[in-house]
Amino acid sequence: MKRVAFTFRIREDKIEEYKQHHKTVWPEMLEALSRNGWHNYTLFIKPNGEVFGYVETPEGLTAANAGMQQEKVNERWQRFMAPFVPEGIKPDQSFVELEEYFHLD
């Protein structure tokens, strides 16, 4: 299992609404994430809208994202999330993967 960290940005004026939507993620979206190798998936947010994401996945973020691109529910979720990210950016395609350089078990 690979540990992956990534960042992306949410509009500051939409942070609270964005967080509320993540309290009730659609069950079919949760199922699609699990089916495509998204395990121990966690999101953190700073007051300026910078999001830090962490996921454990068998093959890495590229493969996990590629699987989600095949899911119809993901297409709907990304349209639903579009107002929360800066204009012209697709939410799931704006992830910047971070390099892991230290780990302590």
pLDDT at position 92: 82
Residue 14 tokens, joined = 């939409």
Class of domain 2-98: alpha beta
Q: How would residue 78 be classed by pLDDT, with cut points 50, 70 and 90?
A: very high
Q: How would residue 100 be classed by pLDDT, with cut points 50, 70 and 90?
A: very high
- Helices first, then strands: H and E counts in the chain: 4, 4
Please give the positions annotated as active site.
22
pLDDT at position 86: 87
